[in-house]
Structure 1
Amino acid sequence: MSSAPSDPTLERHFKGHRDNVTSVDFSCNMKQIATGSMDSSVMIWNMKPQMRAYRFDGHKDAVTSVQFSPSGHLVASASRDKTVRLWVPSLKAESTAFKAHTATVRSINFSADGQNLVTASDDKTIKVWTVHRQKFLFSLNQHINWVRCAKFSPDDRLIVSSSDDKTIKLWDKNSRECIHSFYEHAGYANHVDFHPSGTCIAAACTDNSVKVWDIRSHKMLQHYQVHSGVVNSLSFHPAGNFLITASSDSTMKILDLVEGKLLYTLHGHQGPVTCVAFSRTGEYFSSGGSDEQVMVWKSNFDCAEGIDDFRLQHKAAPSLQAVGSSTAQPPLTPSEHRSQACDPSEHANGQDSHTKSGSRSQSRATRSQTFGPLSSSSSSTHQTQTPGLPPHSPQVQAQSQASDGGVPPGLANTLEHIIGQLDILTQTVSILEQRLTLTEDKLKECLENQMEIGLHLQRREEA
């Protein structure tokens, strides 16, 4: 078992955005932080005191997502203006714009090798791009509502996406096929991400919950109900033992995935916390909120146990048993977690959150409970698999539905056929939208050329 971590401390906070902060990410060398905002700007903050911040203006509408490339040489941003842009964080220069989406781009994510980008959009598609050739590669088109988030797996073989259609989908990047769909009945997932080991995914949901699934067995491993508001974002600690969440209830929560319990509740933002991210080493994490502030916290975690230890505990820890496991559920045992209250006005840049108090008296102890294995009644949240049948065949769908609610096989087959037709229609509309976008660009180019020719002829006549 992992030893109890020390209290996280607020190290710095930045002010400069003029509207809600929507996204935050650390550079690989921990020298810079990139943030996006509803004020349409991308800002690069330097961790060294007295170093200036850079504001990049290029998007024409709200910036919804930002991320540093693995090398730290580029920053990618997504926007409500339907574009994706690449910036050089060391220079205040013009960015490169990628255009293929026909609606708001909600999220952006680099592959681990930095060669590709994956984006999620309100046009119901997920798109994959090549970074160096700056070219759109292909779309994934099975969601039937806005796609909120899309992320590569650590080995770049898979993509996970979440949508307002209340599904979370796993995709094979090479075959471009949907491998599995997880269904959310109470709400949709605002944010999804892979565990550093690549074996699990976590989702931040609008029903105030955080859920963790095993992508191999497709079973839910953990279900946390610790927030009193919508969960907007989450981030795994690089060691894989901890998960941090950000919520509209103005708090962040740090969860111990090995023990399956809540460790800390962090206060500081005045209003909803919209985004959160660990640094590449896990030594720090940063948060952004509707109060237009960016905060940087020191984790102070004892992470001697890494991902390998997580895998071992994954099988042994009661809190990580799969849904429907035959193992008897142990009684819930109370465990202490500390709630860290921090007032941003009390912290100058670089000042420790406990300096003024002179002690850890700001931490107040409350009681929480360890989250044990979920009951088998929750198994309807994942799709039942039948040996010898493909994951999405009508037979599998019919058996799963019959076991859950007694849906007749004939009706299940009809619904499956309708869903298939809707998928085809969605793909057709997506192709037409792409062609329309290309046509609009060509028309704009022709009009510009025509205007230039007209001006040239006018100058000749005047001469």
Structure 2
Amino acid sequence: MPGLAGLAEPRLDRAFRGHRAPVTSVVFHPDEQQAISGAHDGCLFVWHFKPQLRPFRFVGHKGEVHDLAISRSGQCIASASADQTVRLWTNSAQGDSKVMKVHTAPVRSVCFSRDDSTLLTASDDKTIKLWSVASQRFHASLLGHTNWVYSAHFSKNSELVASGGEDRIVRVWDVDKKATLMTFPDFEVPVAKVRFHPDGSCIAACGHDGCIKLWDLRSRRLLQHYDAHVGRISAIDFHPLGEQLASTGEDGALKIWDLREGRLMHKVIGQGHKKAPMACAFSPSGESLATAGQDGLVLTWNCSHAPAPAPAPGAAVAPVPSPARRHPVQTPERAQVRAPSEGRARELRELRELREVRELKTPKETFPKEAFKEVPKEAPGDQLPAAAVPCGTQEIPVPLAETLKTMQSHLEIMMRTVQLLDQRLALNEQQVTAMRSELLQQQATLRVEETSAEPRTSQTAQAVCLDKEDELLLPTAPEEELRHELQQLRQLL
């Protein structure tokens, strides 16, 4: 884990695209093998960090998803939505969920207690509520806010709750007594987010004026004030060790603040999201940071001191690194241990050819089927099973095996895409046929009416209708182009 004073500047690690609307929330799985996101499209995505695993997509909300929380076991995901409900999802491919009608207005915030037994929710109905996770039953309400409540958060031991909202007041609650312990009316604008420090000694809150404030709960006074962003701040999150704070704002910047020295440590802008980020979250170890933005992207950043591959020159958004790029690069010392040999030269030549194949996207022309054989299924669990390798190669390079598996998954996606296009084309043809039948019926009706009124005019209308009917029978240019593209895709596959 990186030292506090030397937290490395965030470097883009992975990019996930799947949402069709701005992404409002993101959290890490406790084992840091997944990231979960929710968006205005009402969907949740569970993103896997292993490239061979496909993401889970959870659909059920009828409104925007405002906030997410995940249990310490990682098996339960809670989502708060504008449809006035909270859903408890099972973290699996099936995506089973239980619906909780918890408020009479959009739900803005959701949070699990330390032991995962209690769920904390905040809503535009001006209330904060506590619920039993096991039974999904109401437990208690925290009443005191005079306007919409945007954020509520448990302390480390779940004995306190901090909240803030449209009434511009940050409140700290005693969970057992269901009463307000202290208030901080320092903001002159609505409070967007409230977070407890990991050790529970202070709280941080951000407002729509671009400021971040920290209060000491023991002395009940303002500790620090940061003019952090230009415009609204969308999210804040403490580093697990407590001496850094990440923030995102409408100015498009991701910033990390050093709370010990009271200064800006790192600023990232224009290197990932095409639009402003709306959420941020540190991983449990603090070595990674996730952000989500209005562009529908979910990005993960590496904050450790491990060297990262240099980005391509002139690239605004760093691509998702392939398994080959994430593999450790061979050092000159290791190269001296292995003397140049014919087998090594052949491996380098194969990797060079594979790189050309990936750029041209025509693997069949470079590697014919006769040049491949299957790896025995008794291969160790660390290696990918059934990977194709050229005949005569003594050992399989890990980057080559992983790249071939990635190419295989891409071909499967292309095949499914062709099937979907085929179905869509058939559906369009059915719709065109139905519209043509309806048009002919209308023309026949018009022809009968005009025949009874003016015979000469009827003959003219009939000729025009027949001309239009002939035009309808001709295939349109887009359909011909689509059929031609489908035929080319089938030949390629």
Fold equivalence (TM over 0.5): yes
Question: 1:413: which partner in 2?
Answer: none
User: In the superposition, relative to structure 1, how do residues 352 and 102 fare at CA in structure 2: closer, same or farther (>3 Å)?
Assistant: farther
Corresponding residue to 2:318 among 322, 327, 346: 346
Q: TM-score, normalised by structure 2?
A: 0.62
Secondary structure at the residue paired with 2:317?
A: helix
Contact 1:12/1:351, CA 8 A, preserved across alignment: no
Contact 1:9 / 1:352 at 8 angstroms: preserved in 2? no
Taking a change above 3 Å as real, the CA distance of residues 2 and 296 of structure 1, as seen in their structure-2 partners, is closer
2:300 to 296, 300, 308: 296
* 8 Å contact from structure 1 (residues 116, 131) kept in 2: yes
C-alpha displacement of 1:273? 1.2
Note the 1:215-226 alignment, pairs <5 A.
215-226=217-228
Task: Measure how far apart 1:205 and its partner are.
Answer: 1.1
1:211 matches 2:227: no
The structure carrying a bigger helix percent of its residues is 2
Select 2:281's aligned residue among 272, 277, 280: 277
Mapping 1:404-423, distance limit 5 Å: none
Q: What is the RMSD of the two structures over their aligned residues, measured on CA atoms?
A: 2.2
Count of residue pairs the alignment pairs up: 317
Take 1:145 and 1:301, find their aligned partners in 2: how far apart are those partners? Answer: 44
Question: Contact 1:11 / 1:350 at 8 angstroms: preserved in 2?
Answer: no
Which residues of structure 2 form unaligned runs of 5+? 307-312, 328-493
Contact 2:4 2:244 in 1 (8 A): no
In the TM superposition, what is the alpha-carbon distance from 1:283 to its structure 2 partner? Answer: 1.2
Q: Provide Cα deviations, 1:283-314, integer angstroms capped at 9, x if missing partner.
A: 11100010110000011269xxxxxxxxxxxx
Q: Deviations over 1:438-457 (max 9, x none)?
A: xxxxxxxxxxxxxxxxxxxx
CA distance in 1, matches of 2:11, 2:74: 26
Q: Does 1:175 align with 2:162?
A: no
Would you say the 8 A contact 1:342–1:353 is kept in 2?
A: no
Q: 1:62 aligns with which of 54, 64, 68?
A: 64
Offset at residue 133 of structure 1 (A):
1.4
CA separation of 1:9 and 1:354: change in aligned 2, threshold 3 A = farther
CA distance in 1, matches of 2:315, 2:280: 18
Aligned to 2:401: none
Q: How far apart, in 1, do the equivalents of 2:181 and 2:314 lie?
A: 43
What are structure 1's unaligned runs of at least 5 residues? 303-340, 356-463
What is the match of residue 319 of structure 1?
none
Shift of 1:253: 0.5
Counterpart AA for 1:293: L
Q: Is the 8 A contact 1:286 1:295 kept in 2?
A: yes
Q: For residue 347 of structure 1, what is the amino acid of its counterpart?
A: P
Q: Separation in 2 of the partners of 1:66 and 1:173?
A: 21
1:137 aligns with 139
Partner of 1:408: none
Call closer, same or farther: CA 1:350–1:171 in 2, change over 3 Å. farther
**Larger-gyration structure (1/2):** 2
State how far apart, in whole Å, the 2-side matches of 1:17 and 1:160 are. 30
Q: Give the 3 Å change call, closer, same or farther, for CA 9–342 of structure 1 in structure 2.
A: farther
Structure 2 distance, partners of 1:94, 1:27, is 18
Kindly state the Cα deviation for residue 136 of structure 1 after the two structures are TM-superposed: 1.3
Deviation at 1:271, TM superposition (A): 1.9
Q: Deviations over 1:391-427 (max 9, x none)?
A: xxxxxxxxxxxxxxxxxxxxxxxxxxxxxxxxxxxxx
Matched with 1:186 is 188
Q: Is the contact between residue 76 and residue 86 of structure 1 (CA under 8 Å) also seen in structure 2? A: yes
Q: What is the match of residue 107 of structure 2?
A: 105
Would the aligned equivalents of 2:191 and 2:206 in 1 still touch at CA under 8 Å? yes
Q: Percent identity?
A: 39
Instruction: Tell me which of the two structures has the higher relative contact order, counting C-alpha pairs closer than 8 angstroms and 6 or more residues apart.
Output: 1
- For each residue in 1:236-273, what CA deviation from the matched residue of structure 2 results, as whole angstroms up to 9, or x when unmatched? 00011110001110011000111111011112212221
Alpha-carbon spacing, 1:149–1:250, altered in 2? closer, same or farther (3 Å): same
Assess if the C-alpha contact under 8 Å between 2:4 and 2:241 holds in 1. Answer: no
Which of 236, 252, 268 is the equivalent residue of 1:250?
252
Find the aligned partners of 2:217 and 2:129 in 1 and give their Cα distance: 22
Q: Distance in 2 between matches of 1:14 and 1:147?
A: 30
